[in-house]
A and B are shown apart, each in its own frame.
Chain A
């Protein structure tokens, strides 16, 4: 008996057009400045904060989130330890997650966050507030350059651009749909 797989592949082979070339994608260059990244991030509801060196991140966060009760972070001693086995109910209570971002994209304010930096895959979206810490030397201009720098996508990873949002009710923009209600990128 022919399987569905075989049927589909056979039909695709029979019906496909003559082969056309796969184009090379040029590097379009562009502005990779902190200023541009900061402005674009603000435009999509996020916020960039500058600190002098990674050592000052914790202090900056205390000022930004004085009320955060349950904080999860691999970067400093948080108030709650999270790993891949942390139960859902515990994750659901987390106020703030502070994670290391790998690449920032100036054209759209996105930050690449690989699974290895997440503690738990659900943490970046289940936390009420998200902070991504990023070395400003890891800013690139466009998505082309970001993908060129990715070593791979790992098991899971995401470009995160600003806080969770929706405009599904009458196109009114509301920040804080299902994921993090706010996003701060701490640049150093």
Chain B
């Protein structure tokens, strides 16, 4: 199913669409306010971009340095080429400890690898501890946003879910009380957690440590109570130096939610005494993307979600319309690398307005990559046949002044003479779903020019 069909379903609920759009626009406005308040913000974006580009240009070396430093810190380092290997590795570590109760903080990588279903299928209880993630886990849904995974839900939805699963009072949808109920419910899980799984925001090559940013404190609580910590990261999370974090921590939260920094910016470098720390480094298509010159810059992404909040399409189509772990503009340039056929409509789910590129804290040329993916998809035959042939026809028409002039006259005459019901039939003319066609003038500009100026 294409993005446009899923989007049409979402937008059909006009009221909910208004709410979704305004809620995310509010986040964009908070971001603006935070950005305007930092005079060097644009300079920081440029620095972040250069640091990430440099890291990618020496990725193999930094990976080796990171591994060596981490091992010196007493951390076990594992490598996985794809999702299946990642999932098997994680399960293996859990089994080695005979553990069955897992607490997991936010990790888009484990979402991408579908780790939860894999663990559940092997009898392991895995609890997502980020509030938004827990809500959608209880509802058996996928996240609809990188940073705000449950942003597609209203408090009434959450209330129903908590009533069903946590026994909260029916009809009580006060966010304060719902959050308190989740706190109590998850405290018990934290206290019982044997293994904690986390994502990674930044992996520092020179220290071998990983940095995890949360607002809720769920990563810290989970990791620091469990015997074993498994941190899962894509290879693109690396940065060379500890001091680079100065740049990224200043950009991340401001871009994401408009906060000056996340509540917890936690540096995990060595396991606590008597405990274990594992880092799983995952490729899963990333080195392939690194080999695509037009698209490798997508690997600079620090998963702030700003491109989603600003995207006028995302705000009105909802995250699930993308049907990919990472939705929105950044998802639309990451997904075709994973499965070109399945995600072929995503690069077209954009007006190429460029706002995503302008908010991106690491200056990924997102809208240019969307344009370039369109070319790749069309060349690969992954666009609808009707579109392909109409474009070939249009191409011939527009390369010939004679045909162009005649075609234009025919179209205008047709529009003037044919009944409105026919020219505006939505079955053949999608323009007419909400718009009138322009009123055709008798004369085109070129006809006027010929007659008036060039006598």
Contact = CB atoms under 8 A, between A and B. Distances in A.
B79 A8 contact: yes
Nearest to A160: B264
B443 to A, nearest CB: 53
A126 B257 CA distance: 25
Nearest to B253: A108
Given A88-B225, A177-B217, A179-B216, A21 B56 contact: no
Given A4-B85, A168-B132, A169-B155, A25 B266 contact: no
B178 interface: yes
B79 A5 contact: yes
B397 interface: no
A12 B81 CA distance: 12
A12 B234 CA distance: 12
Contact of A156 (B191, B247, B262, B266): B266
A74 interface: no
Contacts of A89: 191
Contacts of A159: 249, 261, 264-266
Given A110-B261, A168-B150, A177 B187 contact: no
A15 interface: yes
Given A143-B250, A144-B246, A12 B235 contact: yes
Contacts, number: 264
Interface residues of B, number: 92
A167 B260 CA distance: 15
Contact of A179 (B54, B148, B263): B263
Interface string B263-285: 11111111111000000010100
B265 A125 contact: no
B240 interface: yes
Interface residues of A, number: 77
Interface in B116-162: 129-132, 135, 148-151, 153-155, 158
Contacts of B220: 121-122, 124-125, 158, 179
Given A3-B79, A176-B180, A178-B217, A166 B260 contact: no
B244 interface: yes
A79 interface: no
A150 B235 contact: no
Interface in B226-242: 235, 240, 242
Interface stretch (B289-297, B316-324, B349-357, B412-420): B289-297
Given A22-B50, A177-B215, A180-B217, A144 B183 contact: no
A117 to B, nearest CB: 14
The 3 closest A-B pairs by CB, nearest first: A179-B217, A15-B291, A108-B260
25 contacts: A8-B281, A9-B63, A10-B60, A12-B235, A22-B54, A23-B47, A28-B40, A43-B260, A44-B260, A105-B261, A108-B261, A120-B224, A156-B266, A156-B269, A157-B266, A158-B265, A160-B264, A161-B261, A166-B132, A166-B216, A168-B131, A168-B135, A171-B148, A178-B221, A179-B218
Interface of A: 3-5, 7-23, 25, 28, 40, 43-44, 84, 88-89, 91-92, 105, 107-110, 115, 120-122, 124-126, 142-148, 150, 152-172, 174, 176-180
Given A170-B153, A178-B190, 12 more contacts: A15-B288, A22-B50, A23-B54, A107-B250, A142-B246, A158-B265, A161-B265, A169-B131, A174-B175, A176-B180, A177-B215, A178-B218
